[in-house]
């Protein structure tokens, strides 16, 4: 995400909710690419940690918490997201809980 006026807070840093939206987009994209076509998913919750002020452009990296996840009838699927600045320092961390179930 580029650092520009629309995503800044009153301190001139990237707004916390902008980073939450970025994390959900990255986590959702990774989940959509990972979940079998026989299943569906929806975000259920998100825990976040603001590590330091975001003063540059940002990049988000989403990874599954459990790489060898077993897809069953319905379960929580945890997604780890890190947002880094241009120096590749972690600015923000999130764990997003996705509810995954078989399509009806």
Identify the helix (H) or strand (E) that includes residue 25: helix 16-34
pLDDT tens column, 2-27: 877 777 778 878 778 888 999 999 99
* Average pLDDT across the chain, whole number: 93
Can you give the pLDDT at residue 1?
A: 80
In the CATH hierarchy, which top-level class contains the domain 5-102? Answer: alpha beta
3 state SS of 17: helix
pLDDT tens column, 24-42: 999 999 999 999 999 999 9
Q: Please identify which residue in the block is written with the tokens 């452009």.
A: 57
Q: Where are the domains of the chain?
A: 5-102
3 state SS of 27: helix
3 state SS of 13: coil
Share of the chain above pLDDT 90, in %: 71
Can you give the pLDDT at residue 3?
A: 78
């Amino acid at each position: 995400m580029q650092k520009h006026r629309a995503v800044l807070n009153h301190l001139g840093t990237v707004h916390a909710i902008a980073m939450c939206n970025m994390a959900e987009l990255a986590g959702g994209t990774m989940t959509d690419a990972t979940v079998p076509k026989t299943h569906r998913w929806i975000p259920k919750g998100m825990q976040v940690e603001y590590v330091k002020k975001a003063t540059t452009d940002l990049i988000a990296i989403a990874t599954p918490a459990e790489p060898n996840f077993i897809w069953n009838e319905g379960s929580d699927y945890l997604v780890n997201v890190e947002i880094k600045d241009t120096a590749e320092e972690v600015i923000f961390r999130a764990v997003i809980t996705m509810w995954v179930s078989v399509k009806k």
